[in-house]
């Protein structure tokens, strides 16, 4: 089944499930159930994976762009290191907005199982914690991995004393 068809079927199944649960709610049939642990794990992983990619991309671009802005424009326009970092972050966030849909699409294509919750389970604090926890852990891992440009950028250039300018002519 292709991705579009699968997505349409999943959407229809969710709609039917919610209609059924709304009918139960209208008839005052409420269940105070906790989601199964297996579904909570799926929810955690399903939310963590795209955020690993986003965190990686965000930090990677921010560091590369901030360094390039500071190196090439900092001396000409007297931009501080923090201003260059802020501009790099602005560029990185813009790229994140543009690529966010693609990141989610790629995460869906990975074939990770999606959690199946009832409306009551989905609204439970356990499900919310699993979702938020997955996003938090994913972004932390992604941001740490996205710091890899620091391995090859010259970050010590700020700690070295400035060298005196070279003389214009020999023996001057």
pLDDT at residue 160, rounded to an integer: 56
Question: DSSP assignment, residue 59?
Answer: H
Question: Which H or E run contains 83?
Answer: helix 81-109
Is the CA virtual torsion 4, 114, 97, 76 positive or negative?
negative
**Mean pLDDT across the chain:** 85
For the chain, what percent of residues have pLDDT higher than 70? Answer: 86
pLDDT at residue 80, rounded to an integer: 87
Cβ atoms 56, 145 nearer than 8 A: yes
pLDDT digits (tens, 9 = 90+) for 144-171: 999 999 998 876 766 556 665 555 555 5
- Distance, CA of 111 to CA of 108 (rounded, Å): 6
Domain map (residue ranges) of the chain: 1-30, 35-152
pLDDT digits (tens, 9 = 90+) for 25-66: 777 655 567 899 999 999 999 999 999 999 999 999 999 999
E-assigned strands of the chain? Answer: none
What is the three-class DSSP state of 169? coil
Q: pTM for the whole thing? A: 0.69
Token pair of 133 as six digits: 């926890």
CA dihedral 109, 91, 85, 47 (to 10 degrees): -20
CA dihedral 96, 99, 102, 108 (to 10 degrees): 0
């Amino acid at each position: 089944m292709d991705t579009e068809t699968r997505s349409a079927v999943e959407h229809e199944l969710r709609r039917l499930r919610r209609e059924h649960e709304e009918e139960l709610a209208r008839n005052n049939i409420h269940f105070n159930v906790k989601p199964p642990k297996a579904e909570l794990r799926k929810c955690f992983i399903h939310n963590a994976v795209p955020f690993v990619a986003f965190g990686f991309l965000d930090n990677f671009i921010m560091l590369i762009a901030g360094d390039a802005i500071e190196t090439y424009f900092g001396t000409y326009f007297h931009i501080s290191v923090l201003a260059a970092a802020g501009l790099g972050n602005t560029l990185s966030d813009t790229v994140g907005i543009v690529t966010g849909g693609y990141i989610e699409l790629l995460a869906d294509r990975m074939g990770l199982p999606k959690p199946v919750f009832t409306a009551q389970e989905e609204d439970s604090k356990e499900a919310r914690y699993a979702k938020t926890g997955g996003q938090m852990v994913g972004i932390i891992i992604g941001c740490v991995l996205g710091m890899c440009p620091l391995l090859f950028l010259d970050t010590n250039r700020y700690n070295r004393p400035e060298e005196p300018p070279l003389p214009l002519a020999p023996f001057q």
